[in-house]
Structure 1
């Protein structure tokens, strides 16, 4: 079953589904800066565009272009910046 989610006044939209082995989402982030909280470990892969990410406990920002992935631990938060519409694929453990 698919589930559609909207965040930040519709500037971030995702579709949740049960992947082959893990729950997952695919979505698009509009240009802007956002902070997300996690309840599970997440592995986010940029599909199109790019995200500049500040991971938990870090002062630095790192850019992830298409086909690059990053991990975020459960029960933390992380910040992202998008300069263009950016598509992502995320799995949850």
Structure 2
């Protein structure tokens, strides 16, 4: 599952969270879309959203629980999920998760 982004601008400074266990790079496409490409090491994390997020697992897997979910749900390579604007979600990673995230 490889997607190429043509004519993009990459922000060199990493977005680093949780003592470096989660990091990403911001990419702006020629259309003005903002995408982050990131990597999570094993651990449990909680994120807040300021816009709607579409996360796609590129490699590895993660188990997530959104603010209004009753149960945890696993997402593996090639699957995606959406998180609502102004909410939060929890993530558990057992091995690693390579992901992309787009915002709207």
Report the TM range for the smaller structure's normalisation: over 0.9
Which residue does 1:57 correspond to in 2?
68
- Aligned match for 1:69, one of 80, 83, 100: 80
Which residue does 1:41 correspond to in 2?
52
| 1:90 has 2:87 as partner | no
Which residue does 2:5 correspond to in 1?
none
What is the number of residues matched between the two proteins? 93
- Aligned match for 2:28, one of 18, 32, 35: 18
Q: What is the distance in 1 between the residues matched to 2:83 and 2:30?
A: 21
TM superposition outliers: structure 1 runs of 4+ over 2 Å = none
Q: What is the distance in 2 between the residues matched to 1:8 and 1:20?
A: 31
| Pairwise CA distance, 1:56 | 1.8
Gaps of 5+ in 2: 1-9
Q: 1 or 2, which has the higher strand percentage?
A: 1
Instruction: Decide whether aligned partners of structure 1 residues 20 and 72 sit closer, same or farther in structure 2, where only a CA change above 3 A counts.
Output: farther
Which residue does 2:19 correspond to in 1?
9
| Pairwise CA distance, 1:20 | 4.4
CA RMSD of aligned residues (A): 1.1
Gaps of 5+ in 1: none
Matched residue SS, 2:70: coil
